[in-house]
Amino acid sequence: MSDFQNVALQLAEAQHSPDWLQSLRERGALSWSSARWPTRKTELWKNTPLQPLQSDMPSRWAAATGTDWQQDIEQIDIDATRLVFVNGQFMAELSSDLPEEIVRFADANVAQRQVIEQKLGTVVDAERHLFAALSNAWVADGILVQVPRNRSLDKPIYVLNVSTPEAEPAVSNQRVLMVLEDGSQAELIEHYVSADSKQNGFVNSLTEVIVGQNAQVQHYRINLEQEDLLHVGGVHVNLHRDARFHGFTLAQGSRLKRIDYQVNHRGEGAHLELHGVYLPRNKQLIDYHTNVEHCVPHCTTNEVFRGIIGDSAKAVFNGRIHIHPQAQKTLAELSNKNLLTSPNAEIYTKPELEIYADDVRCAHGATISQLNETSLFYLQSRGVERAEAISMLSFGFINELLTQVPEQAIQDYLRPRLTTLFGQGSELLGQLDYE
Amino acid sequence: MSQQVENLIKKDYAAGFHSAIESDTLPPGLNEEVVRFISAKKGEPEWLLEWRLKAFRAWQEMEEPTWAHVHYPEIDFQSVSYFSSPKSMADKPKSLDEVDPELIATYEKLGIPLHEQEMLAGVAVDAVFDSVSVVTTFRAKLEEAGVIFCPISEAVHRCPELVQKYLGSVVPQKDNYYAALNSAVFSDGSFVYIPKGVRCPMELSTYFRINEMNTGQFERTLIIADEGSHVSYLEGCTAPMRDENQLHAAVVELVALDGAQIKYSTVQNWYPGDSEGKGGIYNFVTKRGLCHANAKISWTQVETGSAITWKYPSCILKGDNSVGEFYSVALTNNCQQADTGTKMIHLGKNTRSTIIAKGISAGRSNSAYRGLVRMNPGAEGARNFTQCDSLLIGDRCGAHTFPYIESKNPSAVVEHEATTSKVSDDQMFLCQQRGLDAEKAISMIVNGFCREVFKELPMEFAVEAGKLLEVSLEGSVG
């Protein structure tokens, strides 16, 4: 066991947690402690060293602190059911009144507890996902969203997770379980931010979504933490017959940010649409691992990830699509495009296809390059300054995905941020002179 | 239709005969003594023995790799015989006429009649039978041009300085498990040296055959193309049908000095095992080329045989403006498993690489493309294009793609695309509607699918490769 594995177990022991979660916690602790700590030879962590976790070992649970972070952090301006967590602690006074479909684990009634006990930890494979095991071991609170049959939630759910500065490295755990019964609809926005740039800390987050027959989910995960906050997160989804999952994710910041998307097509006719953007700069590392399992026939997947990597940042993308023998008539596509904008930036991409059925159409593509010289020339020949042209083209590269985001409020929140990010003298784009 | 598919897929292995030739075979097992024995048998100089022992000791420390997408029972390396030489080789033949007629007949069965080839094709052949290089044709003509083409065991004596300088320079002894094993026990192989500015007057060719039971074949090929030279090299392989799995762990090293060009083509037709997956060759091969400035190395391979293929012909593009190419068709049938692909390591400026990989899986087989494209910080203006296509025939096979793409230079451009599909009903309908029967249509479509690779093969190999595919795949999708 590594040092961090030990510390994490001690942290679990120090927690107060309801009795009825004990069995999951114990199972989590067992998988966590028996797992081999990833090294450079561990395929799933090959290019993502966990060394920052070991060197800046978090030693205690983060405490909820006041509300003075509020002026630093702009929230997404949206009419939604708002749940605010600060350092993993629920802030009732900042949150909306919760409708009956949404409940914290701590407040769950008997029926809701039963749902949690039955479903929590069943979507994620904790043997394969190391930090999901940790999340199980650490589960004490969380959010349950349960949408009854043929119901549609009136408002989107907006979960804001804020990390504020701590005196010493601290950890927090975030857990969401979403159960959509047949024919229901919901929208969930998970927004992760941190208040200060001198933040030391580690956030472990896990979201499990069960999408029933013909149900639909829009899911957003916006990860905009500061440099020193480490984050390992996962979104695990089961799609049943004719279910739809529309996901969008954007990541920036963190010396170590690893996000796993695992989607299992369990019923025929299910569709996954997953779009992602990563924009690491400075010395950040962003790692997206996606894995789509096609277990049944007639399902479709469309996955698009784009990244701009600047400064001395590093990005890792691994997109796996696995077609099981029964999954005939599958259509699956994956595209991953990357712009490198600095001589010190690095990208490791690995789109994988594993196919055991013959009547399928699968394709993936990956590209790495800098901006196209011809496009730059075109703009310059029309009187646009070079720096401006670079900024325009880079923004356009990401904007293509942004314009497809169905939720206008997210577009409105992200667009000005990206404009600033891509503005002149930007760290993300400024390193190259494009001879 | 599926019955038809079954029948067509079940073709027999045409090269599966065993030649009754008496041979000197070392008892199974591997230890330092075996390494010393092989070295002594070859009359090798001291440095080479040391080199082998170093590799052997490294091998003992190493672990067998398990990352490839192939499954097989553990190999007992002590049950393999590491040296087998046809007996009549003891008193070396001076010319073709002195070679054991049985042996010559074997080659004729394989379709490489040495005499004929000499006259018709103008191809110089070095034939490696089990572990020993049997005969090298066309020597005189090559010597005129200054080309050295001989068994590597002979090269050790003829031009030791070249061998010592380049052996292990591209694939070091400790490179990987099988390369280390090969370095310790390699018995023979081909050696080619093309002097400065010389364009090799004919295509060079090696034919490998494993004949003896329980023997492993460990040949080592070293090709050095000096500045501005050009050579095209062909390699073909077969083995008899046996129920046991046999081991083949070869190493091929190519060195292309400034401005040189090497074209290396392989048609690999080792015995793939029967339809139940019994027997067949385990083909664990390390092939790598090093390109100096303005040099070009081109790998073309047609992989139809072997129970297991584990093979990644690679290019290290060290010099500026160097070019690497990889064209591959990998066909798996029955229970065959292939994990093959390439590595393109871009170190120099304006280096370019192209990868075209076509995988065809039928029966219960699995074929995987595994590739690495790496742009190092110095690879200013480098360029890579990769295309991997897979075709699935039957619903019990698998096709996989594992590309690793890494870039540390913003001016480098990498493109990768991969598709997987079956032969579409529309294509079939179109062909059949025009009067072609299903078999012809499939043959045409599969040939079209592989065309980009076949056109890179030298003429006579292209014909052979086309036929190989045709036999096993005609009419296999409806």
pLDDT tens-digit map of B361-411? 888 888 999 999 999 999 999 999 999 999 888 788 889 999 999 999 999
CA B295, CA A74: separation in Å to the nearest integer?
56
CA A430, CA B380: separation in Å to the nearest integer?
18
Question: For B235-278, how does the pLDDT look when each residue is reduced to its tens digit (9 = 90+)?
Answer: 876 555 556 677 888 899 999 999 999 999 888 877 777 777 77
- Lookup: tokens for A56: 């800046």
What mean pLDDT is predicted for residues B42-51? 89
A366 touches chain B (CB under 8 A): yes
- Lookup: tokens for B187: 């018995």
A window 304-343, beta carbon within 8 A of B: 325, 328, 338, 340-343
Most confident range, picked from A78-82, B39-43, B106-110, B127-131: A78-82
Domain ranges in chain B are 2-473
Which 3-state string (H, E, C) describes A303-315? EEEEEEECCCCEE
Q: Which helix (H) or strand (E) holds A395?
A: helix A386-402
Are residues B307 and B339 in contact, defined by beta-carbon separation less than 8 angstroms?
A: no
% residues pLDDT > 70 (chain A):
96
A-chain residues near B422 (CB < 8 A): 358-360
Beta-strand runs (E) in B195-346: 204-209, 220-225, 230-238, 245-248, 251-256, 261-268, 280-291, 296-303, 308-311, 314-317, 323-332, 337-340, 343-346
A-chain residues near B399 (CB < 8 A): 353, 355
- In chain B, which residue's Cα lies nearest the Cα of A311? B410
Are residues A231 and A260 in contact, defined by beta-carbon separation less than 8 angstroms?
A: no
CA A204, CA A130: separation in Å to the nearest integer?
11
Q: In this model, does residue A432 exceed pLDDT 70? A: no
- In chain A, which residue's Cα lies nearest the Cα of B419? A363
CB atoms A347 and B407 under 8 Å: yes
- Lookup: tokens for B160: 């030791």
Question: For B292-339, how does the pLDDT look when each residue is reduced to its tens digit (9 = 90+)?
Answer: 999 999 999 888 878 888 999 999 999 999 999 999 988 888 888 899
Integer CA distances (angstroms), A357 to A213, B123, B335, B362, in order:
24, 43, 16, 11
Residues found in chain A? 435
For an interface test with A, give the residue of B69, B344, B386, B401 to mutate (most A CBs within 10 A): B401
Its ipTM equals 0.86
What mean pLDDT is reported for chain A?
89
For an interface test with B, give the residue of A353, A367, A390, A434 to mutate (most B CBs within 10 A): A353
Which of B397, B410, B418 is facing A364, going by the closest CB pair?
Answer: B418
Q: In this model, does residue B145 exceed pLDDT 80? A: yes
A-chain residues near B412 (CB < 8 A): 340, 368-369
Q: In this model, does residue A423 exceed pLDDT 80? A: no
Q: What is the DSSP letter of A359?
A: S
Question: For A197-213, how does the pLDDT look when each residue is reduced to its tens digit (9 = 90+)?
Answer: 566 789 999 999 999 99
DSSP letters spanning B97-158? GGS-HHHHHHHHHTT--HHHHHHTT--EEEEEETTEEEEE-SHHHHHHTT-EEEEHHHHHHH
Are residues B238 and B217 in contact, defined by beta-carbon separation less than 8 angstroms?
A: no
- In chain A, which residue's Cα lies nearest the Cα of B408? A346
Question: For B121-143, how does the pLDDT look when each residue is reduced to its tens digit (9 = 90+)?
Answer: 444 556 665 555 555 666 777 88
Half-sphere exposure of B294 (CA within 13 A, CB side): 8
What mean pLDDT is predicted for residues A389-403? 89
For an interface test with B, give the residue of A323, A339, A344, A355 to mutate (most B CBs within 10 A): A355
CA B181, CA B336: separation in Å to the nearest integer?
24
Burial of residue B321 (CB within 10 Å: 0-12, 13-18, 19+) is: middle
B60 to chain A, closest Cα gap in Å: 20
**The pTM is what?**
0.87
B-chain residues near A346 (CB < 8 A): 406-408
With the C-alpha atoms ordered A16, A20, A26, A31, is the resulting torsion angle positive or negative? negative
Mapping DSSP to helix (H, G, I), strand (E, B) and coil, where does residue A347 land? Answer: strand
- Least confident range from B76-85, B144-153, B194-203, B237-246: namely B237-246
B85 band by pLDDT with thresholds 50, 70 and 90:
low
Q: Which residue has the tokens 């420390």?
A: B61
Are residues A107 and A191 in contact, defined by beta-carbon separation less than 8 angstroms?
A: no
- Confidence at residue B447, expressed as pLDDT on a 0 to 100 scale: 82
CA A177, CA A173: separation in Å to the nearest integer?
14
Q: Which helix (H) or strand (E) holds B5?
A: helix B2-9
CA B431, CA B428: separation in Å to the nearest integer?
5
Are residues A402 and A415 in contact, defined by beta-carbon separation less than 8 angstroms?
A: yes
Question: H helices of A35-147, where?
Answer: 51-55, 110-119, 130-138
Cβ-based interface (< 8 Å): residues of B facing A: 67, 375, 377, 390, 392-422
% residues pLDDT > 90 (chain B):
32
Are residues A314 and A347 in contact, defined by beta-carbon separation less than 8 angstroms?
A: yes
Would you give the end-to-end CA distance of chain B in angstroms?
6
CA A102, CA A97: separation in Å to the nearest integer?
10
A360 touches chain B (CB under 8 A): yes
Question: For A15-44, how does the pLDDT look when each residue is reduced to its tens digit (9 = 90+)?
Answer: 888 888 888 999 999 999 999 999 888 889
A-chain residues near B398 (CB < 8 A): 354-356
